[in-house]
Amino acid sequence: MTKVPSYVLHEAFDDETVVVNMNRGHYFAFSGQSADLWGEIVRGASTGDLSARLGIKPPDLDRFLSLLDQEGLVESSREATEQLSPEEWLADTVLAGSVERFTDIEGLLLIDPIHEFDQNGWPTA
């Protein structure tokens, strides 16, 4: 089972979902099927359900889940794998081009004590 840790924040917008790892200061923009996959993961779908519901081949799904695990966006029982960029993880899959990774505000996210969060969302006071 794949679980979203409490230090990962996410918000769905019109055509993309933004996911933030507050421990690392990285954030991601998911669009298309990657946004759909993220929504299902948040709802607690199993790996088998993800593949069946969204029609994504198991190898493509495994690569996406490995990327999420590598980036600390999910907690899973997956074994540690080689460190690759999102582009490398998703090359030659139906998810290619649907994930962007940003580190431009990493310093701000890591030092900003104002933005506290919990399982109910962000920000909390």
User: pLDDT per residue over 24-37, tens digit each?
Assistant: 888 899 999 999 99
| Residue 102: domain span | 8-124
Q: Is residue 48 part of a domain?
A: yes
pTM as predicted? 0.78
Q: Is residue 2 part of a domain?
A: no
Q: Is residue 38 part of a domain?
A: yes
Q: Is residue 65 part of a domain?
A: yes
Q: Is residue 42 part of a domain?
A: yes
Q: Is residue 1 part of a domain?
A: no
Structural domains counted in the chain: 1
Q: Is residue 95 part of a domain?
A: yes
Q: Determine the average pLDDT of the residues in 92-117.
A: 72
Cα–Cα distance between 64 and 72 in angstroms, integer?
Answer: 13
Region for residue 5 given its phi and psi (left: phi exceeds 0; alpha: psi -120 to 50; beta: otherwise): beta
Of 114 and 88, the structure prediction assigns the larger pLDDT to 88
